């Protein structure tokens, strides 16, 4: 049997992450440098993420569609800031069918341009608005430094694209989708996030305004976990997305785009994982409970397996995602460690004595060892499991929030700021100057993650009354605080 011991996070956080992704069979490296193969266990987690988001999108009137993988190069060139932002990352097809193409084709890095082209044809009147479309797909960005899930050449995501009649409607849409991402992260993934506005230098290429949700990983670094962009009329003007308003006047539409990708899988790993491996939030876990039958003789096996299969049916009928571990030639201890590494929220142990007592042992992944074990009657087992899964979900969120608050400082001076960003977040006053932002980045490797929408909260989550201060870098007057951190 393979060695299942991982490096500790304190020893080598990056290697802990890399080995965990591979050993838990979430993903594997592809033959093309920087690409990944998402394995069934990892894809099941992504499917649960997509289902939770898709439900929210549809509840707010959005519909799904599919747009082409290949985009004419001339489309990318139409929006100047867009092409400037994405040119270094483009993968370009120059030959097809054995012949050189008349116009090179770009493998989509994002779909604003091809969708803008379609919207220009579909939208003629104010009656055609709003258009609220989302698509689930993969995109390609030629990244130089890659890491499984967090940054790969090709990654899976959803990208929403909407068109509206007014600037106010577009801004409402942009903020609504940010709220949806926040709700998803908190409720489904048990990840506390900070919703905020990006600085001008950190905006999406071609956007008037970019919002994001920022999460703290287990090493104190930040991960941008979802973004929502108000594109203003930039793409509408580039692609002539126009409509006749109620007064018969031709107007350009206002558009938005928003996305969340498989890098969120990386967030789940790094926010909740420990030195033993993954800890899956129950609402998104591919399996919520694994049954491990324990026996020594054929007679014991027959008795235990009959009881185990009955429990599996009862739990599955109650809507619980159950896995039965029937692997031969592996000890119960090996199976315990294996499923602990894979992060299943609950383990149900069932041996001959448990069958005789009509009980089971439930072991919580978030509480390793004896502390997390309890004896539970088989009668009413589904209800007990559901309650325990909800307790685990809440416990994971509370623990992640406590960790973030413990590693977020509100420094009084720049020296304290530099210390804070070595291990976590710094919530600091910022004058709004791009030069201060750039110097901070050069001197500390910390970037402006976002300007929190809730400016009243302090580093510990408590409400604060002061509405102005002095820039952490230049000491000039400042009216907003920003979250600064080193990031993935």
- For the chain, which domains are there? 13-272 (3.30.930.10), 289-391 (3.40.50.800), 408-485 (3.30.110.30)
Lowest mean pLDDT across 294-308, 400-414, 447-461: 447-461
- What are the structure tokens assigned to 240, written together? 């002539």
What are the tens digits of pLDDT across the range 119-175?
Answer: 999 999 999 999 999 999 999 999 989 999 999 999 999 999 999 999 999 999 999
Per residue in 50-64, pLDDT (tens digit) is 999 999 999 999 999
Measured between alpha carbons, how far is 180 from 210 in angstroms, rounded to an integer?
15
- Reference 60, options 231, 194, 179; nearest CA is 179
Asked if residue 281 lies in contact with residue 396, where contact means CB atoms within 8 angstroms, the answer is: yes
Q: What is the pLDDT of residues 293-307, one digit of tens each?
A: 999 999 999 999 999
Q: What is the 3-state secondary structure (H, E, C) of 254-279?
A: EEEEEEEECHHHHHHHHHHCECCECC
CA 217/CA 109 separation, integer angstroms? 26
| Strand partners for 36 | 29
Return the residue matching tokens 């608005």: 129
pLDDT at 2 over 60: no
Res. 229: pLDDT tops 80: yes
Q: pTM for the complete prediction? A: 0.95
Asked whether residue 400 carries a pLDDT value surpassing 50, the answer given is yes
How would residue 82 be classed by pLDDT, with cut points 50, 70 and 90? Answer: low
Helix (H) or strand (E) holding 105: strand 99-107
* pLDDT band at 392; cut points 50, 70, 90: very high
Question: Mapping DSSP to helix (H, G, I), strand (E, B) and coil, where does residue 2 land?
Answer: coil
Contact call for residues 41 and 25 (beta carbons, < 8 A): yes
Task: Please give the pLDDT value at position 45.
Answer: 98
pLDDT of residue 83: 64
């Amino acid at each position: 049997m393979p060695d299942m011991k991982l490096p500790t996070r304190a020893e080598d956080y990056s290697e802990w992450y890399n080995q965990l992704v591979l050993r838990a069979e979430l993903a594997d490296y592809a033959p093309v440098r920087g690409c990944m193969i998402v394995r069934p266990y990892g894809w099941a987690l992504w499917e649960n993420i997509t289902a939770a988001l898709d439900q929210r999108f549809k509840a707010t009137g959005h519909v799904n569609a599919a747009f082409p993988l290949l985009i004419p190069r001339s489309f990318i060139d139409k929006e100047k800031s867009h092409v400037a932002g994405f040119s270094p990352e483009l993968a370009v097809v120059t030959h097809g069918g054995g012949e050189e193409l008349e116009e090179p084709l770009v493998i989509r890095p994002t779909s604003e341009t091809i969708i803008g082209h379609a919207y220009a044809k579909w939208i003629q009147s104010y009656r055609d608005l709003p258009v609220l479309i989302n698509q689930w797909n993969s995109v390609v960005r030629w990244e130089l430094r890659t890491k499984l899930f967090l940054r790969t050449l090709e990654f899976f995501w959803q990208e929403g694209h909407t068109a509206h009649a007014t600037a106010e409607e577009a801004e409402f849409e942009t903020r609504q989708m940010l709220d949806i991402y926040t709700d998803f992260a908190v409720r489904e993934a048990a990840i506390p996030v900070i919703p905020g506005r990006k600085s001008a230098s950190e905006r999406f290429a071609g956007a008037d305004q970019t919002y994001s949700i920022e999460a703290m990983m287990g090493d104190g670094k930040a991960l941008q976990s979802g973004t929502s962009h108000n594109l203003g009329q930039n793409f509408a003007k580039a692609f002539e997305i126009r409509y006749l308003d109620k007064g018969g006047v031709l107007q350009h539409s206002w558009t938005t785009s928003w996305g969340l990708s498989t890098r969120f899988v990386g967030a789940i790993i790094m926010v909740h994982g420990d030195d033993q491996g993954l800890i899956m939030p129950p609402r998104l876990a591919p399996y919520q409970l694994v049954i491990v039958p324990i026996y020594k003789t054929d007679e014991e096996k027959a008795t235990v397996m009959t009881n185990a299969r009955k429990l599996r049916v009862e739990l599955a009928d109650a809507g619980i995602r159950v896995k039965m571990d029937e692997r031969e030639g592996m000890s119960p201890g090996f199976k315990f460690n294996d499923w602990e590494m894979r992060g299943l929220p609950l383990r149900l142990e069932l041996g001959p004595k448990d069958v005789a007592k009509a009980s089971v042992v439930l072991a919580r992944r978030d509480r390793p060892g004896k502390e997390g074990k309890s004896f539970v009657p088989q009668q009413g087992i589904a209800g007990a499991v559901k309650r325990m899964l909800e307790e685990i979900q809440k416990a994971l969120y509370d623990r992640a929030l406590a960790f973030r608050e413990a590693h977020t400082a509100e420094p009084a001076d720049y020296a304290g700021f530099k210390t804070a960003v070595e291990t976590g977040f710094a919530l600091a006053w910022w004058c709004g100057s791009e030069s201060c932002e750039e110097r901070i980045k050069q001197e500390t490797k910390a970037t402006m993650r976002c300007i929190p929408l809730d400016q009243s909260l302090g580093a510990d989550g408590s409400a604060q009354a002061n509405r102005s201060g002095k820039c952490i870098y230049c000491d000039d007057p400042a009216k907003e605080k920003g979250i600064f951190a080193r990031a993935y």
